[in-house]
Amino acid sequence: MKGTTSRYFLAATLAATAIGVGAVMQYGPVIVQATLGGNIPMRTPAPPSDPAVSMTAMLPLARISNVVDVVAAEDVTAIELAAAPAQPEASCAPKLVAEPAVAAMVTLSLDAPCHADSTVTIHHNGMMFTEATDTDGLLSVTVPALTEYAMFFADFEDGAAAVASTQVSSVYFYDRAAVQWQGDAGIELHAREFSDSYEGPGHVWFAAARDTSTAVTGQGGMMVRLGNPALPNARIAEVYTFPSGTSQNFGDVLLSVEAEVTAANCNNDIHAQVLQTRGETSMSVKDLTIAVPACDAVGDYLVLQNLLEDLKIAAK
């Protein structure tokens, strides 16, 4: 982040919605109208109704009369059944292995010999990101666990899939916040540990991400970005992890979602979703739509406050 960059702080005052661990819920989008040089009107609309989706009604059945028995003629042969779709050979089916790692992370190893150089979407507890296998159909990625009994799903574009799960008992020691989006949205997740400035060492974001050695020793948090932005319309997720259960410091960790105004997103709406866990106790999910200002604001940042709950770290 550049010190001379203009930032416009948008107060996104929202009620956090908690859901049970392992469940995923969708809510109506929070509309943030970003207008430079003026007040920021905000509204939280009711969840939109999709006319294409409706509940199936229970319709009464009409009485059927004049029913007669029909006896098949002797020359009628057995009915030819449509051939079932061919199942992939066992050696061709993708396989996914999940292994717990330090700092409540999980290492995923995907082996898909029939899906070399293929796009795959990884799903975990509502979080999604897009990756690609290598020339041998292999992929390895380390993912922050959002729940103790963590399940992961790898989904290829042709419908092939693999699933794996593992137990991550250390998840209780960590708080996590995530933002996810699709395409070139210009979105970033920022954490300013113990109310540090943007220029200070406590500012953790994608360009100053740290690694698991900082988190596992309780010295501070870390950031990971998941997904391959070089893939078309890729799903990307950024996840911030703080070791609340083992922290050597105390104070507030300020969390914010920021959107850079770029030539790709200016004067358009961009969509994102924020997720937050506090140990294993709860998970909140919010959908977000941001109306990005006109293209003469390219290079500026919109800072969306109050979307995520700041962390209050108590002294040990």
Q: What is the pLDDT of residues 2-50, one digit of tens each?
A: 444 566 666 543 333 333 333 333 334 444 444 343 333 333 334 444 4
Q: Examine the domain organization and report whether 25 and 127 are in the same domain.
A: no
Name the helix (H) or strand (E) containing 240: strand 235-242
Cα–Cα distance between 56 and 266 in angstroms, integer? 41
Give every CB contact of residue 109 below 8 A, 6+ residues apart in sequence.
Answer: 96, 97, 99, 138, 139, 140
Domain-embedded: residue 282: yes
DSSP per residue, 160-194: -EEEEEEE-GGGGG-EEEEEEEESS--EEEEEEET
CA dihedral (108, 109, 112, 118) positive or negative: positive
- Write down the residue that tokens 């870390």 correspond to: 222
Q: Examine the domain organization and report whether 252 and 272 are in the same domain.
A: yes
Q: Examine the domain organization and report whether 262 and 297 are in the same domain.
A: yes
Quick: pLDDT tens for 51-103.
443 333 333 434 334 444 444 444 444 444 445 555 556 689 999 999 999 99
Q: Pairing between strand 235-242 and 175-182?
A: antiparallel
Domain-embedded: residue 72: no
Q: Examine the domain organization and report whether 192 and 293 are in the same domain.
A: yes
Closest alpha carbon to 122 in 133, 114, 136, 137: 133
Q: Examine the domain organization and report whether 190 and 296 are in the same domain.
A: yes
Average pLDDT over residues 128-151: 97
Quick: pLDDT tens for 167-214.
999 999 999 999 999 999 999 999 999 999 999 999 999 999 999 999
Q: Examine the domain organization and report whether 278 and 161 are in the same domain.
A: no
Average pLDDT over residues 125-130: 97
257: helix, strand or coil: strand
Strands (E), 92-229: 95-101, 105-111, 119-124, 127-132, 138-144, 149-156, 161-167, 175-182, 187-193, 203-204, 222-226
Q: Examine the domain organization and report whether 208 and 260 are in the same domain.
A: yes
- H-only helix segments in the chain: 212-216
Q: What pLDDT does 3 receive?
A: 44
Q: Examine the domain organization and report whether 139 and 155 are in the same domain.
A: yes
Domain-embedded: residue 110: yes
Q: What pLDDT does 225 receive?
A: 98
Domain-embedded: residue 272: yes
Q: Examine the domain organization and report whether 300 and 188 are in the same domain.
A: yes
295: helix, strand or coil: helix
Domain that holds residue 232: 7-35+172-313
What is the tally of structural domains in the chain? 2
Picking from 166, 185, 212, the residue at the C-terminal end of a domain is 166
HSE-up of residue 68 (Cα within 13 Å, Cβ side): 4
Q: What pLDDT does 49 receive?
A: 44
Domain-embedded: residue 55: no
Q: Pairing between strand 119-124 and 105-111?
A: unpaired
Picking from 114, 131, 166, the residue at the C-terminal end of a domain is 166
Give every CB contact of residue 112 below 8 A, 6+ residues apart in sequence.
Answer: 94, 95, 118, 120, 133, 137, 138, 139, 154, 156, 160, 162
Q: Examine the domain organization and report whether 140 and 180 are in the same domain.
A: no
Q: What pLDDT does 155 receive?
A: 97
CA 121 to chain CA mean position, Å:
11
Q: Examine the domain organization and report whether 241 and 111 are in the same domain.
A: no
Q: Examine the domain organization and report whether 195 and 101 are in the same domain.
A: no
Mean residue pLDDT of the chain comes to 80
Cα–Cα distance between 195 and 192 in angstroms, integer? 6
Domain-embedded: residue 139: yes
CATH of the domain at 103: 2.60.40.10
Domain-embedded: residue 117: yes
Picking from 132, 150, 166, the residue at the C-terminal end of a domain is 166
Q: What pLDDT does 310 receive?
A: 95
Domain-embedded: residue 83: no
Contact (Cβ atoms closer than 8 angstroms) between residue 196 and residue 205: no
